[in-house]
Copies of this chain bind each other. A is one copy, B any other.
Amino acid sequence: MQGKQSISLKEPVYMNATASVVGKKEGEGPLGLLFDMVGEDDKFGAKTWEEAESELQKTAVYMTMQKAGIKAGDIRYLFAGDLLGQEMATSFGLESFEIPLFGLYGACSTCGESLSLGTMAVAGGFADQVICVTSSHFASAEKEFRFPLAYGNQRPLSACWTVTGSGAFLLGAVKCENTLAKITGITTGKIVDFGLKDSLNMGACMAPAAADLISTNFSDFGVGPEEYDKIITGDLGTVGQKILLDLLRDKGYDISDRHMDCGIEIYDAQTQDTHAGGSGCGCSAVTLSAYILKQLRDKNWKKILFIPTGALLSKVSFNEGNSVPGIAHGVVIEAL
């Protein structure tokens, strides 16, 4: 154990398989060719947007097990979550696997939360293999947090575009033939609230939490930006990125030469009209699954700090005039 918010693992936890499933728009983006499955339309054969998101999770978990050549009975726990009220996508998407389930909620940081708790379960000797999975869907998220699509509201340039996608990760105590990378540490975030109230500027709401998490990781481990080849946030977008870099400069850290944001990478903002970038707990998950882990597997990067960021927003809290607090969960991932 190390620091107050960070854990350095004695034995690494291996990321032995992963799968990513995304919607049409994500498939047309810069990372399009890297995803395991791209839906022809965003309903994924379901009747509702919520069921479509359930399909995303179900497919991502199924493909992950298939790639690893294992079945549901081999998985001890699922650590899963989504953005919808009462985790609808997770409840109905993962039901059929009949695997013991821990439902999680960290807004868009849930991918980092699930990897952190999954890592603890494996590293603590409570599980040989677990699957961590998160999802988001543009249409179900707009309906849940802002306006139904049919309302056709205008989106300011600070708005993010919720990624339609799900990424699943098989964590194991033992390396396998196709192991992609290893988790060697985690830094768990606390709620950080700068009092911002704009549900159409999530990046600004989450940036302070990301800055706090990154500087805490540095101090807990006694390192600086140079410790990592990349420092990757989940979905700050262009607006949030600028704020993050400024906040860290105030803390004496310059990560501008190695910072990457999944929300900025996943779309071409110019041609895809996604404004500030992608968001949602599918955003960081599918980018880690399809792009980041391949860079680590191919040794292009040796060590990264992966930080999914979440805005703790609800329709009710927003309508009651509350601020939008942020939270971020960091995972240290290294090449084998």
Chain A residues with a Cβ under 8 A of chain B: 1, 4-5, 7, 47-48, 50-51, 73, 76-77, 81, 83-88, 91-92, 94-95, 97-107, 113, 116-117, 120-121, 123-127, 144, 188-191, 193, 312-317, 320, 322, 325, 327
CA of A91 to CA of B98 in the docked complex: distance in angstroms? 30
Which of B86, B101, B317 interacts with A191 by CB under 8 Å? B101
Chain B residues, CB < 8 A from A98 = 190-191
Instruction: Please state if B113 and A120 are interface contacts (CB–CB under 8 Å).
Output: no
CA of A105 to CA of B91 in the docked complex: distance in angstroms? 10
A77-B188, A91-B325, A317-B92 known; A102+B104 contact, CB < 8 A: yes
CA of A121 to CA of B312 in the docked complex: distance in angstroms? 24
Instruction: Please state if B101 and A103 are interface contacts (CB–CB under 8 Å).
Output: no
Instruction: Please state if B101 and A86 are interface contacts (CB–CB under 8 Å).
Output: no
Chain B residues, CB < 8 A from A7 = 126
Instruction: Please state if A100 and B313 are interface contacts (CB–CB under 8 Å).
Output: no
Instruction: Please state if A1 and B126 are interface contacts (CB–CB under 8 Å).
Output: yes
Instruction: Please state if A189 and B100 are interface contacts (CB–CB under 8 Å).
Output: yes
Chain B residues, CB < 8 A from A94 = 191
Q: Which residue of B lies closest to A95 (CB)?
A: B191
Which of B1, B5, B51, B125 interacts with A100 by CB under 8 Å? B5
Which of B1, B92, B316 interacts with A84 by CB under 8 Å? B316
Q: What are 17 pairs between A and B in contact, CB < 8 Å?
A: A1-B125, A4-B76, A4-B100, A5-B100, A48-B320, A50-B317, A81-B105, A84-B314, A85-B144, A85-B316, A87-B314, A88-B317, A91-B314, A94-B191, A101-B190, A102-B106, A120-B124
Query: What are the 3 A-B residue pairs with the smallest beta carbon separation, nearest first?
Result: A124-B124, A85-B85, A86-B314
Q: Which residue of B lies closest to A85 (CB)?
A: B85
Instruction: Please state if A87 and B312 are interface contacts (CB–CB under 8 Å).
Output: yes
Chain B residues, CB < 8 A from A314 = 84-88, 91
Which of B5, B190, B317 interacts with A86 by CB under 8 Å? B317
Which of B85, B100, B320 interacts with A188 by CB under 8 Å? B100
Interface contacts beyond A105-B105, A120-B121: sample of 7 additional A-B pairs, CB < 8 Å, sorted by A = A4-B100, A51-B320, A83-B86, A85-B316, A91-B314, A100-B188, A144-B316
CA of A101 to CA of B328 in the docked complex: distance in angstroms? 10
Chain B residues, CB < 8 A from A189 = 100-101
Instruction: Please state if A188 and B102 are interface contacts (CB–CB under 8 Å).
Output: yes
Instruction: Please state if B88 and A105 are interface contacts (CB–CB under 8 Å).
Output: no
Instruction: Please state if B91 and A191 are interface contacts (CB–CB under 8 Å).
Output: yes
Chain B residues, CB < 8 A from A315 = 85
CA of A50 to CA of B103 in the docked complex: distance in angstroms? 21
CA of A136 to CA of B84 in the docked complex: distance in angstroms? 18
CA of A190 to CA of B76 in the docked complex: distance in angstroms? 11
Q: Which residue of B lies closest to A94 (CB)?
A: B191
CA of A102 to CA of B97 in the docked complex: distance in angstroms? 24
Q: Which residue of B lies closest to A98 (CB)?
A: B190
Instruction: Give the Cβ gap from A7 to chain B, nearest Cβ, in Å.
Output: 5
Instruction: Please state if B105 and A104 are interface contacts (CB–CB under 8 Å).
Output: yes
CA of A97 to CA of B94 in the docked complex: distance in angstroms? 33
Instruction: Please state if A88 and B316 are interface contacts (CB–CB under 8 Å).
Output: yes
